[in-house]
Protein backbone atom coordinates (compact mmCIF):
# COMPACT_ATOMS: atom_id res chain seq x y z
CA UNK A 1 0.00 0.00 0.00
CA UNK A 2 1.39 3.39 -1.02
CA UNK A 3 0.69 6.37 1.26
CA UNK A 4 1.48 9.80 -0.13
CA UNK A 5 2.63 12.18 2.62
CA UNK A 6 2.53 15.89 1.82
CA UNK A 7 4.79 18.44 3.46
CA UNK A 8 6.25 21.86 2.93
CA UNK A 9 9.63 21.70 1.26
CA UNK A 10 11.84 23.39 3.86
CA UNK A 11 14.57 21.44 5.62
CA UNK A 12 12.61 21.52 8.87
CA UNK A 13 9.31 20.52 7.24
CA UNK A 14 10.91 17.56 5.47
CA UNK A 15 12.63 16.51 8.69
CA UNK A 16 9.26 16.60 10.42
CA UNK A 17 7.62 14.66 7.59
CA UNK A 18 10.28 11.99 7.93
CA UNK A 19 9.62 11.82 11.69
CA UNK A 20 5.96 11.23 10.92
CA UNK A 21 6.75 8.70 8.19
CA UNK A 22 8.89 6.71 10.62
CA UNK A 23 5.83 6.35 12.84
CA UNK A 24 3.67 5.28 9.90
CA UNK A 25 5.95 2.71 8.26
CA UNK A 26 4.89 -0.91 8.70
CA UNK A 27 5.09 -4.14 6.71
CA UNK A 28 3.24 -3.64 3.45
CA UNK A 29 3.23 0.19 3.79
CA UNK A 30 5.30 2.30 1.40
CA UNK A 31 5.67 6.03 2.08
CA UNK A 32 6.17 8.63 -0.66
CA UNK A 33 7.09 12.15 0.52
CA UNK A 34 5.62 14.91 -1.64
CA UNK A 35 6.92 18.46 -1.04
CA UNK A 36 4.35 21.19 -1.67
CA UNK A 37 5.02 24.93 -1.77
CA UNK A 38 2.67 27.10 0.31
CA UNK A 39 1.82 30.80 0.13
CA UNK A 40 4.01 31.42 3.17
CA UNK A 41 6.94 29.77 1.40
CA UNK A 42 6.50 31.73 -1.83
CA UNK A 43 6.49 35.13 -0.14
CA UNK A 44 9.10 35.39 2.60
CA UNK A 45 9.12 39.17 2.94
CA UNK A 46 5.56 40.39 3.56
CA UNK A 47 4.00 40.25 7.02
CA UNK A 48 1.79 37.18 7.47
CA UNK A 49 -1.39 39.26 7.48
CA UNK A 50 -0.66 40.65 4.01
CA UNK A 51 -0.31 37.11 2.62
CA UNK A 52 -3.49 35.77 4.16
CA UNK A 53 -3.19 35.66 7.95
CA UNK A 54 -3.15 32.35 9.79
CA UNK A 55 -3.01 29.25 7.61
CA UNK A 56 -0.49 30.56 5.07
CA UNK A 57 1.65 27.44 5.58
CA UNK A 58 -1.17 24.88 5.37
CA UNK A 59 -3.75 25.90 2.75
CA UNK A 60 -2.07 24.28 -0.24
CA UNK A 61 -1.49 21.07 1.69
CA UNK A 62 -5.16 20.97 2.65
CA UNK A 63 -6.16 21.54 -0.97
CA UNK A 64 -3.92 18.65 -2.04
CA UNK A 65 -5.66 16.42 0.51
CA UNK A 66 -9.13 17.42 -0.65
CA UNK A 67 -8.11 16.85 -4.30
CA UNK A 68 -6.73 13.38 -3.43
CA UNK A 69 -3.20 14.31 -4.57
CA UNK A 70 -1.85 13.27 -1.17
CA UNK A 71 -3.22 11.03 1.60
CA UNK A 72 -1.70 12.67 4.70
CA UNK A 73 -0.53 16.23 5.35
CA UNK A 74 2.13 16.80 8.00
CA UNK A 75 1.83 20.22 9.66
CA UNK A 76 3.48 22.05 12.49
CA UNK A 77 0.25 22.14 14.48
CA UNK A 78 0.81 25.77 15.46
CA UNK A 79 0.56 26.78 11.79
CA UNK A 80 -2.96 25.41 11.40
CA UNK A 81 -6.14 27.42 11.54
CA UNK A 82 -8.13 26.96 14.70
CA UNK A 83 -10.62 24.63 13.01
CA UNK A 84 -10.28 22.08 10.20
CA UNK A 85 -11.80 22.68 6.76
CA UNK A 86 -14.90 20.65 5.97
CA UNK A 87 -13.92 17.11 5.01
CA UNK A 88 -10.58 17.14 6.83
CA UNK A 89 -9.59 16.09 10.36
CA UNK A 90 -6.43 15.78 12.42
CA UNK A 91 -6.13 12.01 12.57
CA UNK A 92 -3.09 12.04 14.84
CA UNK A 93 -0.84 14.28 16.88
CA UNK A 94 2.67 12.99 17.44
CA UNK A 95 3.99 13.24 20.98
CA UNK A 96 4.78 16.88 21.65
CA UNK A 97 8.35 18.15 21.71
CA UNK A 98 9.56 21.22 23.62
CA UNK A 99 6.78 23.83 23.27
CA UNK A 100 8.87 26.76 24.47
CA UNK A 101 10.24 29.76 22.60
CA UNK A 102 14.01 30.04 22.35
CA UNK A 103 16.33 33.06 22.44
CA UNK A 104 19.24 32.66 20.01
CA UNK A 105 22.27 34.95 20.14
CA UNK A 106 22.00 35.86 23.82
CA UNK A 107 21.40 34.16 27.15
CA UNK A 108 18.92 36.71 28.49
CA UNK A 109 16.82 39.71 27.51
CA UNK A 110 18.54 43.01 28.29
CA UNK A 111 17.45 46.64 27.90
CA UNK A 112 17.84 48.15 24.43
CA UNK A 113 18.44 44.88 22.59
CA UNK A 114 17.48 44.51 18.93
CA UNK A 115 15.49 41.29 18.64
CA UNK A 116 14.18 39.71 15.44
CA UNK A 117 10.77 38.03 15.16
CA UNK A 118 7.77 38.16 12.81
CA UNK A 119 5.38 36.94 15.53
CA UNK A 120 2.94 39.45 17.03
CA UNK A 121 2.56 37.10 19.99
CA UNK A 122 6.28 37.10 20.70
CA UNK A 123 6.60 40.85 20.10
CA UNK A 124 3.86 41.69 22.60
CA UNK A 125 5.26 39.49 25.34
CA UNK A 126 8.87 40.52 24.77
CA UNK A 127 7.94 44.21 25.02
CA UNK A 128 5.98 43.48 28.18
CA UNK A 129 9.10 41.89 29.65
CA UNK A 130 11.37 44.75 28.51
CA UNK A 131 9.74 47.84 26.95
CA UNK A 132 13.06 49.25 25.66
CA UNK A 133 13.58 46.39 23.20
CA UNK A 134 13.63 47.12 19.49
CA UNK A 135 11.60 44.34 17.85
CA UNK A 136 12.50 43.97 14.17
CA UNK A 137 10.50 41.90 11.65
CA UNK A 138 12.33 38.76 10.57
CA UNK A 139 10.98 35.98 8.34
CA UNK A 140 12.41 32.96 6.60
CA UNK A 141 13.26 29.40 7.53
CA UNK A 142 15.34 28.66 10.61
CA UNK A 143 18.69 28.70 8.83
CA UNK A 144 17.81 32.00 7.13
CA UNK A 145 16.77 33.69 10.35
CA UNK A 146 19.90 32.55 12.16
CA UNK A 147 22.01 33.88 9.29
CA UNK A 148 20.13 37.19 9.14
CA UNK A 149 20.76 37.78 12.82
CA UNK A 150 24.44 38.18 12.01
CA UNK A 151 23.94 40.00 8.72
CA UNK A 152 21.66 42.61 10.27
CA UNK A 153 23.59 42.92 13.51
CA UNK A 154 20.66 41.83 15.68
CA UNK A 155 21.39 40.98 19.28
CA UNK A 156 19.08 37.96 19.20
CA UNK A 157 16.24 36.22 17.41
CA UNK A 158 13.37 34.25 18.93
CA UNK A 159 12.43 30.90 17.38
CA UNK A 160 10.51 27.79 18.40
CA UNK A 161 12.81 25.55 20.41
CA UNK A 162 11.34 22.39 18.89
CA UNK A 163 12.40 23.34 15.36
CA UNK A 164 15.97 24.01 16.43
CA UNK A 165 16.07 20.72 18.34
CA UNK A 166 14.70 18.75 15.38
CA UNK A 167 17.41 20.16 13.11
CA UNK A 168 20.18 19.46 15.61
CA UNK A 169 20.64 23.18 16.27
CA UNK A 170 19.92 23.16 19.99
CA UNK A 171 23.38 24.61 20.65
CA UNK A 172 22.18 27.88 19.08
CA UNK A 173 19.78 28.38 21.99
CA UNK A 174 20.96 30.74 24.71
CA UNK A 175 17.76 30.68 26.72
CA UNK A 176 14.51 28.70 26.65
CA UNK A 177 11.69 30.92 27.86
CA UNK A 178 9.54 29.50 30.62
CA UNK A 179 5.84 29.72 29.68
CA UNK A 180 5.48 32.21 32.55
CA UNK A 181 7.80 34.52 30.58
CA UNK A 182 6.57 33.87 27.04
CA UNK A 183 3.40 31.85 26.69
CA UNK A 184 3.80 29.59 23.62
CA UNK A 185 1.67 29.61 20.50
CA UNK A 186 -1.27 27.21 20.72
CA UNK A 187 -0.04 23.73 19.67
CA UNK A 188 3.62 24.76 19.44
CA UNK A 189 5.88 21.72 19.59
CA UNK A 190 3.31 19.31 18.18
CA UNK A 191 3.09 17.76 14.73
CA UNK A 192 -0.38 17.19 13.28
CA UNK A 193 -1.19 14.50 10.73
CA UNK A 194 -4.21 15.70 8.79
CA UNK A 195 -6.30 13.33 6.66
CA UNK A 196 -9.61 13.23 4.85
CA UNK A 197 -12.55 12.40 7.12
CA UNK A 198 -12.90 8.63 7.03
CA UNK A 199 -9.17 8.01 6.57
CA UNK A 200 -8.25 8.32 10.23
CA UNK A 201 -7.18 4.67 10.21
CA UNK A 202 -4.12 5.63 8.15
CA UNK A 203 -2.57 7.47 11.10
CA UNK A 204 -4.48 6.27 14.19
CA UNK A 205 -1.57 4.22 15.52
CA UNK A 206 0.63 7.34 15.66
CA UNK A 207 -1.77 9.39 17.77
CA UNK A 208 -0.53 10.50 21.21
CA UNK A 209 -3.61 10.92 23.38
CA UNK A 210 -2.16 13.29 25.97
CA UNK A 211 -0.78 15.60 23.30
CA UNK A 212 -4.18 15.59 21.58
CA UNK A 213 -5.96 16.50 24.82
CA UNK A 214 -3.69 19.43 25.54
CA UNK A 215 -3.30 20.76 22.00
CA UNK A 216 -7.00 20.62 21.19
CA UNK A 217 -7.79 22.59 24.35
CA UNK A 218 -5.30 25.23 23.28
CA UNK A 219 -6.70 25.39 19.74
CA UNK A 220 -10.25 25.69 21.06
CA UNK A 221 -9.34 28.58 23.35
CA UNK A 222 -7.67 30.45 20.49
CA UNK A 223 -10.59 29.69 18.16
CA UNK A 224 -12.96 31.20 20.71
CA UNK A 225 -10.89 34.38 20.91
CA UNK A 226 -10.69 34.47 17.11
CA UNK A 227 -6.93 34.89 17.15
CA UNK A 228 -4.60 34.63 14.17
CA UNK A 229 -1.13 35.64 13.13
CA UNK A 230 -2.00 39.32 13.57
CA UNK A 231 -3.58 38.88 16.99
CA UNK A 232 -1.28 38.52 19.99
CA UNK A 233 -3.09 35.49 21.38
CA UNK A 234 -1.50 32.44 23.02
CA UNK A 235 -2.59 29.30 24.83
CA UNK A 236 -0.70 26.53 26.57
CA UNK A 237 -1.82 23.49 28.56
CA UNK A 238 0.86 22.13 30.89
CA UNK A 239 -1.03 18.93 31.56
CA UNK A 240 -2.84 20.26 34.60
CA UNK A 241 -4.06 23.74 33.67
CA UNK A 242 -4.88 25.62 30.49
CA UNK A 243 -3.45 29.15 30.34
CA UNK A 244 -4.45 31.65 27.67
CA UNK A 245 -3.37 35.18 26.91
CA UNK A 246 -4.37 38.18 24.84
CA UNK A 247 -2.30 41.33 24.50
CA UNK A 248 -1.70 44.60 22.74
CA UNK A 249 1.00 44.19 20.10
CA UNK A 250 3.10 46.93 21.72
CA UNK A 251 3.04 45.06 25.02
CA UNK A 252 1.27 47.93 26.79
CA UNK A 253 -1.26 45.50 28.27
CA UNK A 254 -1.51 41.75 28.63
CA UNK A 255 -4.35 39.73 30.10
CA UNK A 256 -3.52 36.16 31.14
CA UNK A 257 -6.05 33.78 32.62
CA UNK A 258 -6.13 30.07 33.48
CA UNK A 259 -8.91 27.51 33.78
CA UNK A 260 -10.27 24.17 32.64
CA UNK A 261 -12.85 25.20 30.03
CA UNK A 262 -11.26 26.44 26.75
CA UNK A 263 -14.42 28.19 25.56
CA UNK A 264 -15.05 29.96 28.86
CA UNK A 265 -11.41 30.99 28.98
CA UNK A 266 -11.51 32.34 25.45
CA UNK A 267 -14.72 34.30 26.11
CA UNK A 268 -13.16 35.77 29.25
CA UNK A 269 -10.18 36.99 27.23
CA UNK A 270 -12.47 38.54 24.63
CA UNK A 271 -14.31 40.39 27.40
CA UNK A 272 -11.07 41.63 28.92
CA UNK A 273 -9.77 42.86 25.57
CA UNK A 274 -12.89 45.00 25.07
CA UNK A 275 -12.57 46.91 28.31
Kindly report the CATH number assigned to the domain that includes residue 128: 3.40.190.10
* Percent of the chain residues topping a pLDDT of 90: 82
Residue 121 domain-assigned (yes or no): yes
Instruction: Tell me, yes or no, whether 165 lies in a domain.
Output: yes
- Per the domain annotation, does 118 fall within a domain? yes
Number of domains present in the structure of the chain: 1
Tell me, yes or no, whether 87 lies in a domain: no
Q: Distance from first CA to last CA of the chain, Å, rounded?
A: 56
Evaluate whether residue 158 is within a structural domain.
yes
* Most confident stretch, 73-87, 169-183, 258-272: 169-183
pLDDT value for 45: 52
**DSSP designation for 120:** H
Q: Is 79 a catalytic residue?
A: yes
Average pLDDT for residues 70-76, to the nearest whole number? 97
Residue 239 belongs to some domain of the structure? no
Q: What is the DSSP string of 218-252?
A: HHHHHHHHT--TTS-EEEEE-SS-EEEEEE-TTSS
The pLDDT assigned to 52 comes to 46
Report d(CA 3, CA 181) in Å as an integer: 41
pLDDT of 269 strictly over 70: yes
Q: Which of 71, 79, 98, 101 is catalytic?
A: 79
pLDDT of 230 above 70: no
- What is the pTM assigned to this prediction? 0.89
pLDDT at 33: 95
Quick check: is 261 in a domain? Answer: no
Range of the domain at 116: 101-176
Is residue 206 assigned to a domain? no
Identify the band that residue 254 occupies on the pLDDT scale cut at 50, 70 and 90.
Answer: very high
Mean pLDDT over all residues of the chain?
91
Please check whether residue 57 is in contact with residue 34, taking contact to mean a CB–CB distance below 8 angstroms: no
How far apart are alpha carbons 254 and 212 in whole angstroms? 27
The least confident of 46-55, 65-74, 238-247, 252-261 is 46-55
pLDDT band at 196 (very low <50, low <70, confident <90, very high): very high
pLDDT reported for residue 40: 62
Closest CA to 97 of 212, 190, 208, 236: 190
Q: Where are the beta strands (DSSP E) in 65-206?
A: 72-76, 88-93, 101-104, 114-116, 134-136, 156-160, 173-176, 191-196
Cα gap 95→67, rounded to integer Å: 28
How confident is the model over 102-119, as a mean pLDDT?
Answer: 97
User: pLDDT exceeding 70 applies to what percent of the chain?
Assistant: 92
Residue ranges of E strands in the chain? 2-7, 30-35, 72-76, 88-93, 101-104, 114-116, 134-136, 156-160, 173-176, 191-196, 233-237, 242-247, 254-259
What letter would DSSP give residue 198? Answer: T
Strand 134-136 to strand 114-116: parallel, antiparallel, or no bridges (unpaired)?
parallel
Judged by average pLDDT, the poorest of 13-22, 57-66, 80-89 is: 80-89
Amino acid sequence: MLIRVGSRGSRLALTQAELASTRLRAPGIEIALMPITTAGDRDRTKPFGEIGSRGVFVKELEEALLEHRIDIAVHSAKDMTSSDPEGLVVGAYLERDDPRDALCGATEIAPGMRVGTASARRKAQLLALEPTLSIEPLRGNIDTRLRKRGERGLDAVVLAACGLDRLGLGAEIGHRFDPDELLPEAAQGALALQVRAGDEHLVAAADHGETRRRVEAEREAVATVGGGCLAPVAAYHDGATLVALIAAEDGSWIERRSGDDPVALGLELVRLSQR
